[in-house]
Structure 1
């Protein structure tokens, strides 16, 4: 069993960027997002594909408070949480988690959620493209991984569109991976 040196850090941390496209903005979470954040998290169309417990307003607020502090990646298991804003309204989130620090195995796990009312409009893809460019320019990641529920057709489609490739999975998840490709070849 290997152990992770919790003191080891990236050469320079990856920080939450503010990224704008013609329709979408990525930004840090804000406490003013609380009502909408709870609406997204408690949506059955979202929660059915996550490992989250059912969120009360209070537990959603606690989780949002954590998200407002997840603004940089320095160490293994650090999370970078970005709010997705569409036409000035919170509609989802993209998060990145550093899974391996060593340059030869550096791995980021990406995940996303989008409010059901805004799914199918290309919002997540539009947000991911410049985020991947930012990541590519600021961190040398060998692997990019996304864990998707196989029945979540929209996320499976997005993973393919992002040029991530499925690995054999289990009944409750499919692991998509990009090796040197998604970060370098998307653009």
Structure 2
């Protein structure tokens, strides 16, 4: 399967680019940390092997679309990976999807903006800066709105969502088969 390259997005301090197999050490390090993965998904998990990291890289590369994808964030000066910025379709919770018999239509797909940052880069504004680059990218592609969801205890991500102009809408169970805090923005 051929995957397309994401456009490189630049900010004053960061480059957002397509992840490559050469990034395997960073991917393995990032997702092997419980403090990173504790707010991603509904189960406790870490990925500690090279094979798991390569599989994640393949999934991230396959997620590339015309306007969407999962970008590796790296610093411009040091070329150091800092984490990932996401602009991708968000999965509906099972109770909202259409039955297999086709009797009810599925709701229109929402797009999610998100970020997974390495703890060594926390507190430096990289999540906010990369999210703003994704918002500009989404506007260039005439996307009309985005959602962000966070674990209710993930106050740092909630602050990022607010900083980039998103509105807190309370809790929702529409996505990922769990209850999370919902933020939205109209573009």
TM-score range, shorter chain: 0.7 to 0.9
Distance 1:67 1:106, change over 3 A: closer
2:155 counterpart of 1:153: yes
2:86 counterpart of 1:84: no
Question: CA offset at residue 60 of structure 1?
Answer: 2.2
Residue matched to 1:25: 15
For structure 2, the 5+ residue unaligned runs are 92-107, 173-177
2:129 counterpart of 1:137: no
Structure-2-length-normalised TM-score = 0.75
C-alpha contact 2:31 2:48 (8 A) present in aligned 1: no
Residue matched to 1:16: 6
Distance 1:144 1:15, change over 3 A: farther
C-alpha contact 1:15 1:80 (8 A) present in aligned 2: no
SS at match of 2:170: coil
User: 1-side partners of 2:79 and 2:39: how far apart?
Assistant: 26
Question: CA offset at residue 173 of structure 1?
Answer: 1.7
Structure-1-length-normalised TM-score = 0.75
Residue from 161, 164, 184 that aligns with 1:162: 164
Distance 1:137 1:106, change over 3 A: farther
SS at match of 2:171: coil
Q: What do the CA deviations read for 1:93-149 (whole angstroms, capped 9, x no partner)?
A: 11112359xxxx6732111110011011001111121221121011332x2100111
Question: CA offset at residue 38 of structure 1?
Answer: 0.9
CA RMSD of aligned residues (A): 2.4
* Count of residue pairs brought into register by the alignment: 158
For structure 1, the 5+ residue unaligned runs are 1-13
Residue from 61, 79, 99 that aligns with 1:68: 61
